[in-house]
Amino acid sequence: MKIKKTSLRKSFEDLGKIKVLVIGDLILDEYLIGSVERISPEAPVPVVWVRNEKQSLGGSGNVVQNLSSIGVSGVVFGRIGEDKAGESLEGLLRSHSVAENDLVLLKSKTLPTILKTRIIATHQQICRVDREEVVPLTKEEESSVLNQLEIKLKECSAVILSDYDKGYLTPSLIQSVIRLCNRENKIVTVDPQVSHFFLYQNIHIMTPNHHEAGKALGRKLISDSEIESACREISEKLTPEAMMITRGEKGMSIFERKTDSFYHIPTVAREVFDVTGAGDTVITTYTAFVATGMSIADAALISNVSAGIVVGKLGAATVTQPEIEEALQTLGYLDVNQ
């Protein structure tokens, strides 16, 4: 598989002309970074001397910052709390080029913003502290979301459902969003949750990892033939245009239903430093490049290469256009003569 350099450059130009709507569970990631020099006298646990703190977008927010990193404008639908973490999350979204009128947030007076705090010492995560309450949207809230979505959808080329099963994407909202996207002929892609797995019918593509797909089907998926069988079985139930299963150190597999074609793309990660957010990078880059008119196979190749780049970085990292082009060329996936 090779991508023409002229085609890649044309897609890079077109990325700046499109908008992608991201709908799902917004999460604020917090990192407390330091070192360990002693064990606590209170309990047999390390004492972390915090020297640095940072916050970043997690959950569907990481999809937004991945879009921003490759030059794509995002429209964001999600829920936050009326609290300090919510203010921080909203500020981070704005810092990633999300315009005020493209930020469609439900602000809850009773539910906190989902906050995940990771404590890291000498590049190792010591523990994670989660603060969240999982409460589904009410029917009134769903109706409000759909009314606003119908308006914003007209500006967008594609929609990403980023489902972390935190209450925003209810079963009825998922199905209503997909129906609306199909009615408006918009590409709709899904990073799924196992609990909602067979609700995502009539989409463009779903991108579960092999553990999620296997859990949904009730069996382990290891070999190429097992992956192919799973893709066909899932596709028969959901009728997507394509099915992608990411496979960790084995890369990813893509099934095109119309042509009954499979592509098994090996991993390109040289060193896995942190897998946090790699799935977000996969669905973001794939969706964005397909929205520019790129083929399913070429967009999948770019998403695989992009994931290989981000797992070599700390935290929910992102990838840039120059990094993508350099990696494609280094790995021999770029046809520089065309």
Locate the domains of the chain by residue range: 3-27+59-115+133-335
Per-residue pLDDT tens over the stretch 71-122: 999 999 999 999 999 999 999 999 988 899 999 999 999 999 999 999 999 8
Better pLDDT: 268 or 143? 143
Per-residue pLDDT tens over the stretch 202-244: 999 999 999 999 999 999 999 999 999 999 999 999 999 999 9
pTM of the model: 0.93
- The catalytic residue positions are 280
Per-residue pLDDT tens over the stretch 269-284: 655 544 556 889 999 9
CB environment 211-249: b (16+ within 10 A), e (fewer): ebbbbbbeeebeeeebbbebbeebbeebebbbbbbbbee
Does residue 45 register a pLDDT over 80?
A: yes
Q: Averaged over 184-202, what is the pLDDT? A: 95
Token pair 């598989």: residue: 1
CATH number of 3-27+59-115+133-335: 3.40.1190.20
pLDDT score, position 249: 83
